[in-house]
Amino acid sequence: MTSEDVETNEVEEPSKEEGKFFPKLLSHIFDILSFRKVVEELKVGKTSPTMCFVCKFGIALLQHFVETEKPKEDIAHIAYTICATLKLDSDRVCAGIVNIFKDEFYHIFQRNQLGPQEVCGVLLGGECARITSPLHNWTVALTPFPKPPVQEVQQPKKYQPKTRVLHLSDTHLDPYYLEGANADCKELMCCRIADGPAPTPEQAAGKWGDYRNCDTPLRTLENMLKHITATHKIDYVLWTGDIPPHDVWNTTKPEQVRLLHLVSRILAKHLPGVPVYPALGNHESAKINSFPQPEVKGEFSIQWLHEEVTKAWGRWLPKSAQRTLREGMYYAVKINPNLRLISLNMNYCNSQNWWMLLNSTDPGRELEWLVHQLQDAEFRGEKVHIIGHIPPGHMDCLPVWSANYYRIINRFESTVRGQFFGHSHLDELEVFYDDDQRPTNVAYIGPSVTTYDGVNPSYRIYTVDGSYPGTTNAVLDHETYYLNLTEANLLGEPRWRMSYSAREEYQLSSLNPDQWNKLLERFLVDDELFQKFSRHLYHLSDFPREPCTGECKIETICRMRTARSHDSSFCNTMMQ
């Protein structure tokens, strides 16, 4: 089946023969409410009073339709009309998204017990509404053992062994990418066979990728892996999710399974003998962000993905890790006698995973399991690295899940020596703090392989204190590498280069949390340094952007100064 088959045969535009007036009126109301502005705010992770109001209005409307038993097809038609009239995307994209999600949305909202206020509070945090439901206001119990004295991370001697760890994130392979296709198609995703040839040379997709809404060509992914193999000695790989392309209106279960196995085989082929430790992204399901709790059975069960992920990644994981992978798509594995790696299914914190509205209480008992893993590691004197897709402080992570995770990390700050995420496609980080605003931990957000959102293809290599008795397993430095798309497409050949070393570029004495905190403070007074960081944020991309100053600069720094989603309290204190 090709991309064109899916788009022409499976996506049908809802009928427009009946009920034209009401949908048009709703579209006009949403236009007045600046719905398009809200969509843009969602993309950049900003919560505003307008966003909260639009959320409550939209949820109230949807609940009214469901409670009055309005036919599912009529609701779908209204949703399509709003999307198309406001030009949130093309008609075929609007139609495809509505057709894919209508059954699931109707099923969830028939069973949802929350009012509009609480729904938006669950999704957007306390700034929108206070949460009272015990299904969404919960606390994971920590262990009864007191927190031991904090262990300061000492820098190792130069002669002591180091480990080199490759971090790949947001691969987003597009098997239908076509050089010369229309890269300016005005849709959610372009550069594909189905987009047809470009009307002008300037609109043509490049050979190695494109800064516009386009994903990774197969040749670029394979060239990157060949370069890595030829250039670096890698001990193991962290692969933090999002395998399929961004054609979210067009996904099918067979295609998602095919891509999962295809990209897993590609990594195994180009990195023979190198262990790969994957984490699940929010694009891996047959419907983006749709990850029902393990107890959901029947037509909406996602057990099929549990099984396929276990098959695809079982080549790298021991049987002990495959059990929890099959049950909840998370696992733990020993990297060496002193280091345990934990891969989390961050879709259980995903605020766009609407299944969480039914019950967000520790889905899959993942955080309870995490506490047990960390306590066991503490008893054994092991250190832990955690990987996942959605960063815990990102606005796409449910506030209640994020707050629980934050407590867990601060309790086990001397055990957790590294956190690695993706999802944003940007090169950034999140700092954790205790109640006294002492920095306790750091979550690294690795740059993306995909160019989607106007960035260069990138990967990162961490230098970690090596596997010897008494090792700290701390991250000592990281180096980021990139491919300049403009140059590659002009020359016809890719040239991968090192972008920067964190310690050298930012003059850090170490990568300990206090050093990252001091860097964020320096950004406030040293704009030249911040602008250098801002260039790295987008992987040294040539895609035109306005300089990040004023409110943009403050929001960028604030985003990194808390790993609690939808919580600006630490940042507000910093800015006083």
Residue 13, classified by CB atoms within 10 Å of its CB into exposed (0-12), middle (13-18) or buried (19+), is middle
φ and ψ at residue 212, rounded to 5 degrees: -75, -165
Q: Is 478 annotated as a binding residue?
A: no
Q: Is 423 annotated as a binding residue?
A: yes
Distance separating alpha carbons of residues 432 and 350, to the nearest angstrom: 20
Q: Is 306 annotated as a binding residue?
A: no
**Look-up: residue for tokens 């934990």?**
342
Give the strand pairing for 331-336 and 339-343.
Answer: antiparallel
Write the single-letter amino acid at 232: H
Distance separating alpha carbons of residues 93 and 9, to the nearest angstrom: 13
SS3 state of residue 335: strand
Pinpoint the alpha helices (H) of 232-298: 253-270
Q: Is 404 annotated as a binding residue?
A: no
Q: Is 172 annotated as a binding residue?
A: yes
SS3 state of residue 198: coil
168 contacts 237 by C-beta, under 8 angstroms: yes
Q: Is 246 annotated as a binding residue?
A: no
110 contacts 43 by C-beta, under 8 angstroms: no
Strand partners, 334: 340
Q: Is 572 annotated as a binding residue?
A: no
Expressed in angstroms, the distance from the first to the final Cα of the chain is 57
Rounded to whole angstroms, what are the CA distances from 13 to 9, 16, 31, 73, 105? 11, 9, 22, 11, 18
Annotated binding site for Zn(2+): 170, 172, 242, 282, 389, 423, 425
Binding residues: 170, 172, 242, 282, 389, 423, 425
